Structure 1
Amino acid sequence: MKKLLVIILMLVGSSTLWAQQNSTLKREVVGRDIGQLKGIKISGRIIDEITGEALVGATVTVPELNLTRITDTNGGFELVLDRAEYNLQFRYVGYETVEYPITAVGDGRLSIRMLQEDFELDDVVIFGRDPEKNIRSTDMGAITLSINTMRELPPFMGEIDIVRSLATLPGVSQVGEASAGLNVRGGGVDQNLIQFGGAPIYNPSHMFGLFTAFNADMVNDLTLYKAVVPARYGGRSSAILDILPKAGSVDRWGGDLMVSNFSGKLSLNGPVVPGKVSILGGFRISYINWLLQSLSNTTLNNSSANFYDGNVIISAPISDNNEFTYSYYRSYDDFAFASDTTISWNNNAHSFQWKSKMSEKLSMEALGYLSQYNYGIFNQSGINDFDLNSNIQDLGGKLFFTYTLNPKQKFSFGGEMKDIQIQPGELIPTGENQDILPKKVQNEHGREFAGHFQHEFELGEKVGFSYGVRYDLYQYLGDRIVRQYAPNRPVSEGSAISETQYGKGDVIQTYDGLGPRASFRYSLSKYSSIKLGYNKMYQFIHLISNTATIAPTDVWKLSDGFLKPQIADQISLGFYNNFKGNIFETSVEVYYKDLQNVVEYKDGATLIVQNHLETELIPAEGRAFGAEFYIKKNLGRLTGWMSYTYSRALRRVITPFEEENINNGAWYASNFDKPHDLTLIGNYKLSTNTSVSATFAYNTGRPVTFPDAKFDYSGNSLAYFNDRNQERLPDFHRLDLSLNFKLKGKGKFYDGNWTLSVLNVYGRKNPFSIFFDDAEGAPPQALRLALLGIPLPSLSYAIKF
């Protein structure tokens, strides 16, 4: 009997103690004001359990009210509740879901720490952040991809490729098999602003586009804006790619190691000041020369290629309200073509960011950056040796404020300025017996200023609206000599009549303009909506190139008195529908884009080391339109998506001078016009530790100009070209496969991820480039060079430690 009495007393005591602890927890969560019945404010911040990094865009759900909120740029959120019991749910892609029961009796604050999920779960969720964000938000054409999503794609030569991952989505393409940059909704590669940690990157590629110049281990996520771009972004006329760097751990040291038969990379991260300051460093290097030497092409197997990139990221989440981040990025490439000509380029970018939650409603973000891009060609053939180099320096600062009036209404405003200097080209003879003379193109200097405002609000559950405006001011500055040309004559060397000298800092030309942006959303149901959007953007820097992709020989040029800023107006309409509890996500978008002051070049233009580029260029107008179809399966053993785009990207040149008109003033296809673009992505989990991935891509061959005839001039056989871009390369199609598996070993270094991939499984000889060879009694014949004309296997091994 005594033993029974003791057991009863112990149970009663334990129950009382548990109730007291649970009650204490709830008081800590909701505060001490127990007199409230309605309008109870529960605010908080969600961070990574290990790194302390704010989780931006995480979802906070109150199932009892069917209410969902998204965390802001500081990981903060706010709920307004009635007095009752609730079971809060916190979700973020790649992290374990947190369920948090509370009893709301008064205002309070939560601090939620989330752990990354174990990727050995049976189902891998590949949708980004909020699975219903595509339905509920007013965003149009905004695509966010996490690294976890990109891991589901077959790796390119053993690695996750950021740019190629985006090119699998509707409205986004590349011109060829190894091409740098992206073409977004009929825009050129220079019409995209690519920024890493807020700093612009001018060449995002290694080896002419064979590899992306970003180490995926240094990236947290990335967002591409291709339709309605938020007013805080500007400076380009097509799209914005914002890459968010990863933060290191504030609690413990760790790292990642990956080796493949083409490249290797290593990253380390850990606390500098435990709990306060972390550092993350990464380095990637190639060893691809063995592949070049194995090719049958004698020019390529006598060539060599090298690249590397490195990152250092210092993050200091010193409090719930303040976070500082410093990011440094460097990439380097050199390619020795047939042992006598070396082409090299490198990026350097520094950025410093401060995020601050100034009050419950107001947050601030300040950013400063310095970005440099250098490129050059070095000829060491022994005859007329030379160095040709150029560089860009971009220095800027940005300040953003966000004021959240209530969960359904938010204001954003701020400003920025940048100073950009370009050294377009300097030719330096390096040999003894030279037939060439040194030459230096005049430097260019410009400044940009911008202010912006945006207002987002919801009217009930069905209607959402966002509108904003961005004001851009641009100044083209001296020191510079500017030519004047005779009126009523084409701008050419022969029509120059005088020159004017402008001193350093003198304003030579000014442009400005208002860029309104607006989007409207109407929800047909919880799982479907329609959206309408409009966007206007200005661009003051141009890539002068007669190729379809970025190359080291291309010239970057600022707007001046002859070359006006590009202006793009785009209108979009979309329908979005999710099925079966967000397992399936679908969308259809149509768009029309009008382009002004697009850069085209005259027939036979000389673009390298050209002091007066205005004599080689012609202003053009452009238009692009299309329809994009997308279906994605987010859950289950089989996941993936299908995207199909029908689009056109056209150009037209009409001037008062008949000799400058292209194709007699008719519309013609741009270099990257590809009407049909289809991508199929699939990932099937064979078991907990094994999966198979496949990517199939098909698109129309890009336009090219073939010679119509040939003629002899002074003993030389020359090709004659007539209309531009009237022919096409053969259609592109390719299948890639990969097998991903994880071995269970006795130690961490045996417990890694293996990836076996095969690119171009059936050996399609897709053309990388074309060249022409003379043929007796016929026009020059076009020949194509296939870079990946055979299946290309790769094997990589990755571990965490």
Structure 2
Amino acid sequence: MRTCKLLFFFIFITATLSAQKATIKGTIKNTDKKPIEGVSISYSNYGTTSNKKGEYVLQVPAEKEISIIFSHISYSTFQKNISIPTNKTLRYSPTLNFKVEEINEVIIEDRKKDAQGTLKITTENISKIPGANQGVENILMTLPGVNNNNELSTQYNVRGGNFDENLIYVNGIEVYRPFLVRSGQQEGLSFVNSAMVQNVNFSAGGFQAKYGDKLASVLDITYRTPKDFSALINASLLGGSITAEGVSSNKKLSGLVGVRYRNNSLFINSKDIETNTNPNFTDVQAFLSYLVNPKLKIDFLGNYALNNYNYIPKTRRTKFGTIAEPQELIVYYNGQEKDKFKTVFGALKGSYNVNKNLDLSLTTSAYHTIEEEYYDILASYNIGEVNNDFGSDDFGEVEFSEGIGSQLNHARNAIDALISNTEFKATYKKNNYEFNIGLKYQNEDIKDRIKEWEVIDSLGFSVRPRNFTTNNQPYEPFTEELTPYQSIDAQNHVKINRFVWFAQYSKNSEWNNHKIWYNLGLRSHNWNVNGENIETSNQTIYSVRGQFAIKPDWEKDMLFRIAGGTYNQPPFYKELRDFDGAINAHVKTQKSIQVVLGNDYSFSIWNRPFKLISEIYYKNLTNVNTYTIDNVKIRYKADNNATAYATGIDLRLNGEFVPGTESWMSIGFLKTEENYNNQGSISRPTDQRFKFGILFQDYVPNIPNIKMYLNLVFNTGLPGGAPSYSNSYEYQNRLNAYKRADIGISYVFADANNKHNIGWLKNVKEFALGFEIFNMFDVQNSITNTWVRDVYSKRFYGIPNYMTPRVLNIKMDIKF
């Protein structure tokens, strides 16, 4: 309600200040003499839109020359200078021309992506869509089949996969995430700098052989090559960024540089845990391109990131349970956590155009991360029954304690990982077919120290570890050494060498006037694991993948496609390490047979374009390496001792719900289960049964410079997990549904349609100021459970870890 009042007040003040002494009206048509709905008619910071009949009416200042701009997403922008006497009406009915610049190329590219089952995401409004982590991943969360119940994290799972099963490429170079991050609070910035992005393509499954060996999805990012100089500044209460780009006088060298800073205190300090914390994250990226000659181009992509996470918890009060039996956890903390994650990445790519048919490229890259996770935190807790008598003076207070104890957690974890590779690719195109091949060698050198333990004490008695045999106290004294409830102490030095190749063939053709496209590919992956005190292992796998699409020669614009094949995920370092920190070099590749059936239906409503995308999928998984998820930290069992499946349906409707803007709604149904050691099928940790998402854009018709962006997500509850080292089959409860709505409202002072010829704004290309409300309805969402044990009842209590409440943010975007 407060947001609505602010908006109405904003609109009222702006409208009152407008001079309204003359009128211009008319009917807008295209070259086919058909009326155009949704044309934006504006001058300065005021305007209106045309109705279904193409009619418009706009009040303007009298006795003054002004520029009226007519703009629409499908037509060329038109400008008219006018001057109208006081209290007079000018009738003006312009004809707008269809946009024809490079239209054939755009249509071909879009159809090709549609046939491949790859979704192309519009990059224009990436930074404008509200979210706790604005950027490309924030957009992905609104898509069907893509889930994450943690707004502080940029990680995501797709169609039942986990965070480690997604491929991410920037300019064709695979990028990685930190290893030790266990909480979205620590994670910081995504590798992808949204201000540098030109194209975003996403595939949720059934992707081609040219992409790597993962089981879930592909996010393919392309950074833009600058054409002229510009600078973009983003600032908010969460941090800011500066992005600058330019090109040399001879047009051979271009550069794109971005610097970002973020501080998550606004979110973390508003949770149910009182803390003294300062999590700050810094990132510098550069993309340089040099045109040696018309055939040879050299690109450089570099990144430096430093994440500092200093966390000092003080107290926590969390209410849980039911209305009939409310309970409360009260915790007092001592100690702190200090984490540091430093990452350096560099890649050099040479592209050579042999002739109009053949392109070659050679890429070499290196990724180096040094991560430290240090903490000593003592938590003294009390679990009690809460007085639920509304008439009592002690209503809401704890009146009986069911569990009293403490937990001491200690860690001195560190990892030093260097990943380097060299890759050669060739693309041959002729007529209506394309042939791609690639060869890649990669070396991974990882030094890891994991040293962490937990001591649990309840009513003065140390809780024994899970494998401890019972004693006969107090009748017989206990003389053995006190041991932690759980403890890991391991040091590993692992080297992995990989050799990968792929070949694929694609062709466009026609069959009885129906347009068809198909792709067939083969991929091979060989890897060798060795290291100190590790038995050497060498394995090879093959993947066969294919896609087929047909666009029938029908009156309705329909496209049908089928994709699938065998997909493998050879183990990365984390998948080789079991719960106790030991390395199993013989972990096999996880295998998946996938089938995806899809349909795209393009149509018009209200003379505006819409598209309905539908996909049905099924995955059969073998050699499954089961895992647990604690916030965003994944621990693998490293034994390939399970089978699993995932099946579901994804629906997405996008189009111009509001003229001149793109919005969409998504619906996803998913079921994924696993069977470990033939104990029967249970839900996997990512079993998100139902997903509903909306991304909606709007503006005020009479004042189109006021923009509104709504990001809404509803996910049914995930499995709540299990206490450490327990049998997950005994804990199959689910968390509550995840419900979140973020809204952003901004006023655009300058952009392509609102240029200023005088004042300080004349040198500004874009300028917008606004505010955002995260978690607008202040819903208490939980991501995991904290498991607290009472030694007396030998009972575990699952205490929900609540995410961020409602938070207000103010932001500014300015581009020169």
Using structure 2 for the length normalisation, give the TM-score: 0.68
Aligned to 1:349: 345
Query: Structure 1 stretch 731-740 or stretch 411-420: which is displaced more?
Result: 411-420
SS of residue matched to 2:662:
strand
* Residue 223 of structure 2 corresponds to residue 245 of structure 1: yes
Q: Superposition pairs for residues 543-582 of structure 1, below 5 Å?
A: 544=574, 560-561=585-586, 563-580=587-604
One-letter code aligned to 2:519: Y
Query: Structure 1 stretch 329-338 or stretch 132-141: which is displaced more?
Result: 132-141
* Residue 787 of structure 2 corresponds to residue 772 of structure 1: yes
Q: Which of the numbers 523, 528, 533 marks the counterpart of 2:552?
A: 523
Aligned to 1:470: 522
Aligned to 1:488: none
241 and 519 in structure 1: CA distance in 2 versus 1, 3 angstrom threshold: same
SS of residue matched to 2:729:
coil
Mark the runs of 5 or more structure 1 residues left unpaired by the alignment. Answer: 1-62, 64-92, 99-120, 430-434, 483-499, 503-507, 547-551, 655-660, 708-717
Deviations 1:261-299 (A, max 9, x none): 11111122223453110122111112343654565522x
733 and 545 in structure 1: CA distance in 2 versus 1, 3 angstrom threshold: farther
One-letter code aligned to 1:599: N
441 and 187 in structure 1: CA distance in 2 versus 1, 3 angstrom threshold: same
Contact 1:626 1:645 in 2 (8 A): yes
Contact 2:234 2:241 in 1 (8 A): yes
Aligned to 1:183: 157
One-letter code aligned to 1:399: F
Identity of aligned residues (%): 16
Q: Superposition pairs for residues 78-117 of structure 1, below 5 Å?
A: none
Aligned to 1:737: 743
Aligned to 2:201: 223
Deviations 1:398-425 (A, max 9, x none): 222222221x322222322222222233
SS of residue matched to 2:641:
strand
* Residue 310 of structure 2 corresponds to residue 284 of structure 1: no
Q: Superposition pairs for residues 114-193 of structure 1, below 5 Å?
A: 130=106, 139-151=115-127, 153=129, 155-157=130-132, 160-193=134-167
Q: Which of the numbers 376, 384, 389 marks the counterpart of 2:414?
A: 389
* Residue 199 of structure 2 corresponds to residue 199 of structure 1: no
209 and 582 in structure 1: CA distance in 2 versus 1, 3 angstrom threshold: farther
One-letter code aligned to 1:537: Y
Aligned to 1:681: 695
Q: Shift in Å at residue 509 of structure 1?
A: 1.7
SS of residue matched to 2:302:
strand
Aligned to 1:440: 491
132 and 724 in structure 1: CA distance in 2 versus 1, 3 angstrom threshold: farther
Q: Shift in Å at residue 743 of structure 1?
A: 1.9
* Residue 644 of structure 2 corresponds to residue 628 of structure 1: no
577 and 720 in structure 1: CA distance in 2 versus 1, 3 angstrom threshold: closer
One-letter code aligned to 1:690: I
One-letter code aligned to 2:141: A
Deviations 1:169-209 (A, max 9, x none): 12211143333422112211111111223333322797345
Q: Which of the numbers 254, 267, 277 marks the counterpart of 1:303?
A: 277
Contact 2:189 2:262 in 1 (8 A): no
558 and 365 in structure 1: CA distance in 2 versus 1, 3 angstrom threshold: farther
CA distance in 2, matches of 1:163, 1:427: 32
Contact 2:340 2:372 in 1 (8 A): yes
SS of residue matched to 2:139:
helix
Aligned to 1:452: 503
Q: Which of the numbers 705, 727, 734 marks the counterpart of 2:733?
A: 727
681 and 602 in structure 1: CA distance in 2 versus 1, 3 angstrom threshold: closer
312 and 720 in structure 1: CA distance in 2 versus 1, 3 angstrom threshold: closer
Contact 2:450 2:488 in 1 (8 A): no
Q: Shift in Å at residue 96 of structure 1?
A: 9.6
Q: Which of the numbers 791, 794, 799 marks the counterpart of 2:809?
A: 794
Q: Shift in Å at residue 632 of structure 1?
A: 0.5
SS of residue matched to 1:190:
helix
One-letter code aligned to 1:227: G
Q: Which of the numbers 589, 595, 611 marks the counterpart of 2:621?
A: 595
Q: Shift in Å at residue 726 of structure 1?
A: 1.6
CA distance in 1, matches of 2:186, 2:250: 41
Q: Shift in Å at residue 733 of structure 1?
A: 1.0
One-letter code aligned to 2:414: N
* Residue 363 of structure 2 corresponds to residue 367 of structure 1: yes
208 and 652 in structure 1: CA distance in 2 versus 1, 3 angstrom threshold: farther
Q: Shift in Å at residue 357 of structure 1?
A: 2.4
Deviations 1:1-44 (A, max 9, x none): xxxxxxxxxxxxxxxxxxxxxxxxxxxxxxxxxxxxxxxxxxxx
201 and 332 in structure 1: CA distance in 2 versus 1, 3 angstrom threshold: farther
CA distance in 2, matches of 1:449, 1:398: 9
128 and 255 in structure 1: CA distance in 2 versus 1, 3 angstrom threshold: farther
CA distance in 2, matches of 1:177, 1:295: 13
One-letter code aligned to 1:373: T
One-letter code aligned to 1:509: N
CA distance in 1, matches of 2:283, 2:538: 38
CA distance in 1, matches of 2:257, 2:74: 23
Using structure 1 for the length normalisation, give the TM-score: 0.69
CA distance in 1, matches of 2:212, 2:278: 38
Q: Shift in Å at residue 591 of structure 1?
A: 0.7
Q: Shift in Å at residue 213 of structure 1?
A: 4.0
Aligned to 1:399: 424
* Residue 682 of structure 2 corresponds to residue 668 of structure 1: yes
CA distance in 1, matches of 2:583, 2:514: 45
766 and 171 in structure 1: CA distance in 2 versus 1, 3 angstrom threshold: same
Contact 2:444 2:496 in 1 (8 A): yes
239 and 765 in structure 1: CA distance in 2 versus 1, 3 angstrom threshold: same
Deviations 1:602-648 (A, max 9, x none): 999xx99x9xx87x645222211111111111471553101101111
Q: Which of the numbers 214, 232, 237 marks the counterpart of 2:192?
A: 214
Ranges of 4+ aligned residues in structure 1 off by more than 6 Å: 93-98, 380-386, 435-438, 552-559
